[in-house]
Structure formats: structure tokens, C-alpha cells
Structure 1
Amino acid sequence: MSNESKAVAFAMAAILLWSTVATAFKIALQYHSVIGLLAGASLTSVLVLMAILFAQGKLLRAIRSFPSNLLNALLLGSLNPVLYYLVLFEAYRRLPAQVAQPVNYTWAITLALLSVPILKHRLTRRDLWGLLLGYSGVVVISIAGKEVTGSLDYWGLALAIFSTLLWAGFWLLNTKKNNLDPIIGLFHNFLVSLPILGLLIWFVPPPPVQWGLMSITSLVYVGLFEMGITFVFWQMALMRTGNAARLGTLIFLSPLISLFLIHLVLKEPLQLATFLGLALIIAGVISSRKKP
């Protein structure tokens, strides 16, 4: 198998796994509080990333570089996973999955907006057109949310939009501040998140969990596939491809696959407005990615 074929295989594996996480979030939140889910999933992710680094022969380097990267990891780890996933999980707890998932996908559009103050980029007409299309899609999807539940949790919608700012901000700061191997940097971020989450649980104890097969499986699944191994698959795809832009277009399959899983597993009735809104969001993302 050629390197390009391997790249596509790793990319498709990542996309298929990312397509399941919206459904997994909703299932896991039936059994866990937001903070409880994040703490358990983060611990799972640390163990998974540690195993991956060990298999790659990088674990010792990750441990040795941790003290010098501690302050950076505290900043980035407080942003992601701690704040980002607290906000995102609360949005999923309040909203239908078919609303939260496409809205969260607008982070790529938000990235263009935040790159102006952080990276000193200039907004182009394409960027502005992408913003208009993307957030028009959010408005249309909000209509779909009302159709599903009879009302819309506007606080949940605001949190979903805020999560895109957090993720885009993390991505930009990580680009500026982190020169480490991406997997080592991610491992450090999740490692410092554990004591932070432990303190949050100490001061605001979550309700008790009824432990069982589904509660444990859903928690581990989120940590394994949303926060851990899927990121590694995507990195391996990028390392092997000679055309990162082509791989980037495959990511547009993820929200579509996710919607059908939401319908099949969660039994949410899919609304026409959801697909129209998602189409606007994807058009906005494509517009903001294209070079003038």
C-alpha cells in the first residue's frame, strides 16, 4: 500500500470515528454529569496517549520535556480539554445532537475571525462571505431545533457557539506556542487537566453515578475516540500525504455521517432545516478556506 493510500485510510478512520462522537456524547450524558464525563474521559485519554507514545518510543521524551513545557501545558490544557469540553458537553446536554453538532462545526469559520487579532491576518471578502454563510446556517439549524423539541434552549445554543471560539482560540495559540511533537503536546495538556478537574470535582461534587456497562463504556469511548486515538490517526494521515488539502475535503463527510447516526441511534427525527443549515455551514467553511 502506497503512502497516499495509507494516508487516505488513516483519514477515513479518523473521520468515521469523529462522526460517532455526537451520538456518544448524548449517550454518555445520560449517565454522567458534565464534569464527571470530562474527568473520566480525560483520564482515559491520558492512558491511551501514554500507550501510544510508549509504542512509538516517545514516552521517555514526553516525560523529560514535561517540566520545561509545564506553563505552556497549563495554559493550553486549561483551555482544552478543561474549558472547551465543559462548555461543549453542557451545550450537548441542553440541545438536540443535530443542532449542537453542526453548530460546533463552525469552528473553522471562527478560526478565520480569531486569526485577525492573534496571527495578525487580514479578513478577506471570502472570509466575510464564509462568516455570513456559516452563521446563517446556525440560524437555520436553530429552527430545526425548535421543530425537534418544541422550543430552543438559547443558552445551549450560545454555549455551542462559544465552544467554537474556544477551540479556534486553542488551535491558534497552540500553533504559536507549541513546538513539541503534536501527540506529546496533547499528552501534556491532558495530563495537567487531571488535577484541575480533580479540584473542580472537590469544590463542586457531581451527583453519584450508577455504574454499569453503558455508563463505563460511553465514558471510555469518548476519551478513546474523541480525545485520543482519532487525533493520532489524523496526524498519521497528514504525515503520509502529499496533498493535505485533498485530505481536508474528506472532513466534510463527518457531519453528514454524524447526522444519520444521530437519527439511527438516538432516534432524533431529522429536519430539512438541519440539512439546509449544514449545507450553509459547509459552504461557509469552504469559502473561508479558499485562497483569494
Structure 2
Amino acid sequence: MSSATLAGCGALLLWAFLALLARMAAGLPPLELTALGFAVGGALALAVVAARGRLALLRQGPLAWAHGVGGLFGYHALYFLALALAPAVEANLLNYLWPLLIVLLSAPLLGLHLGARRLVGVALGFSGCVLLVGAGASFPPGATPGFAAAIGCALVWAVYSVTSKRMAAVPTEALAGFCLATALLAGVAHLLFETTILPDGRQWIAVLLLGAGPLGAAFFLWDAGMKRGDPRLLGTLAYAVPVASTLLLVVAGEGVLSWRAAVAAVLVAGGGMLAATARS
């Protein structure tokens, strides 16, 4: 496994804590949380880039900015909205359709071979998500928009991740600018559409941890992995993240591990492991 692919794995580890930290910040409007988290992550990233004397790399073309800001803002605004409107465990697992979509989109967008083993793994992961919200599942009123947001953020992140391979010329340092622009865009949208809530101590801790990890360092690691590593392998290994993320939510008392959620998590992770062992 290349060092770039290992960097992508580091991002997956940090993202296992995304749902838990987002639930720690519960009560903050989705766009406000997006703005605060990215302001922290962008400021830390900018400090690192400046210390390395590479601020000039933030000068990128309109397409690079549209790709970076669109992916970061679109995914996280929808993700935080999903966790605010739907049960955390189910919404979080639906969000992890994105590894499945990365594997599928790698073929038409990048011309990479999938093969029968990867397709079977993808099918298993998808069946887990169908079981989660299919016939017989029971949810509180109003959860459907949250589930739709979870599926939407999965699609946004999959497209962003796969197309990152075609943006290989954009240096990873440019993400510092993309994060700050995302914070600004989310902040403006928050002021237009939401009511500001002053974070309490617990929420501030969650925001700072989000900015340092899942909304900060993870993006740089993921960018390196998707541009210079194997997107098929990273997309399939990401199936292990929903299991870890779901268990963290349950242990923290932020959700209940129903038999549907447990079986869905096993199917999602098992499908990923099967696809990850496929030959190139």
C-alpha cells in the first residue's frame, strides 16, 4: 500500500469521529456548525501553510475553487442537516453510501476496472442500507428529509472524491483556502436562513475538535489519498468507518443499535472488506 493510500486511511480514522462530535454539538444549527467548524479547520490549515512559506499555492483557478468549496460545503451542510433531522445511527449509516458510490463512479469517471468481486461487495453494502430504511423500519415523524439529506451528502462526497483524481494538479495546500471559503459561504447562508445560537462549553469543545480533525487534517490526508493513491481501495476500506462511527454513537448514548442497524453495519463493512481484497 502506497504512502498516499495510507494517508487516505488516516482520514478515514478521523472521520469515524465525525458523527459523534457533530452530536456533541447538537443544538447548533447545521449551517452555523458548518461555518464554525470550517473556520477552525481553515485557520489551523492556513497557519501550517504559512509556516511552510507556501501561501502562494492558494492562488487557484475558478474550477478548483468551485470543486473544493462545492464539495466541502455541500457535503457537510447536508450531513449536519441529516443528523439534526433524522436518528443519528440511521442517518450516519446512510451517509456511508459514499464509499459504495466512489467505487461505482471510479469506473465511468476514471476508467478504472471494477470486477465481479468489487461489484458483489458493493451490492452487499447497498443491501445493508436498503435494510436500514426499507419496509418494516419505523422512524419518528419528519425523519424522511433527514434521510434524503444523508443520501444527498453521500452523492456529493462521492463525486467530489472521485473527481479529485482529475484535479491532481491542485496542491493539497489549497485546501486551506477552500476551508475558509466554505466557512464564509456557510456563515452567510446561516445568517440568511438560521437563527444564531451562542455555543456553550460542550459545543465549543466539539467545534474545536471537529475543526482540528474531521474538518481539518482529514481533508489534507484524503486529498493526498484520492489524488495519488488508489480511490477504489480507499472507497472500499471506508466501509469499515460506519461500523466504528456507529459504535461510537451508541457507546456515547447518542443512538440505539437496533437489529436492523447492527445487520446493516455488518453488511456495509463486510461488503467493503470483500471489495477491498479484490485484485487490481
Q: What band does the TM-score fall into relative to the shorter chain? A: 0.7 to 0.9
Q: In the alignment, is residue 64 of structure 1 matched against residue 51 of structure 2?
A: no
Equivalents in 1 of 2:243, 2:136: separation in Å? 17
Equivalents in 1 of 2:231, 2:203: separation in Å? 37
Of 21, 25, 43, 1:24 maps to 21
Q: Which residue of 2 aligns with 1:214?
A: 202
1:1-292 maps to which residues of 2 (within 5 A)? 17-28=14-25, 30-55=26-51, 57=52, 60-61=53-54, 63-67=55-59, 69-121=60-112, 124-142=115-133, 146=137, 149=139, 153-182=143-172, 184-202=173-191, 204-232=192-220, 253-289=240-276, 290-291=278-279
- Superposed displacement of residue 245, structure 1: 10
RMSD across aligned positions (CA): 3.5
Give 2:58's aligned amino acid.
F
- The percentage of aligned residue pairs carrying the same residue is 23
TM-score w.r.t. the length of structure 1 is: 0.78
Give 1:286's aligned amino acid.
M
- Superposed displacement of residue 82, structure 1: 1.0
Equivalents in 1 of 2:187, 2:233: separation in Å? 41
Contact 1:19 1:257 in 2 (8 A): yes
Contact 1:145 1:152 in 2 (8 A): no
Change beyond 3 A, Cα 1:228–1:134 = same
Change beyond 3 A, Cα 1:153–1:81 = same
Equivalents in 2 of 1:248, 1:86: separation in Å? 21
Contact 2:103 2:232 in 1 (8 A): no
- Superposed displacement of residue 276, structure 1: 0.9
Q: Which moved more, 1:39-48 or 1:272-281?
A: 272-281
Contact 2:46 2:177 in 1 (8 A): no
- Superposed displacement of residue 66, structure 1: 2.4
Contact 1:99 1:144 in 2 (8 A): no
Equivalents in 2 of 1:70, 1:212: separation in Å? 39
Give 1:227's aligned amino acid.
L
Equivalents in 2 of 1:131, 1:12: separation in Å? 19
Contact 2:37 2:207 in 1 (8 A): yes
TM-score w.r.t. the length of structure 2 is: 0.81
Unmatched tracts of structure 2, length 5 or more:
none
Equivalents in 1 of 2:8, 2:98: separation in Å? 19
Equivalents in 2 of 1:151, 1:229: separation in Å? 36
- Superposed displacement of residue 270, structure 1: 1.2
The secondary structure found in structure 1 opposite 2:160 is helix
- Superposed displacement of residue 189, structure 1: 1.8
Equivalents in 2 of 1:249, 1:111: separation in Å? 8
Equivalents in 2 of 1:142, 1:84: separation in Å? 21
Contact 1:145 1:151 in 2 (8 A): no
Equivalents in 2 of 1:139, 1:246: separation in Å? 23
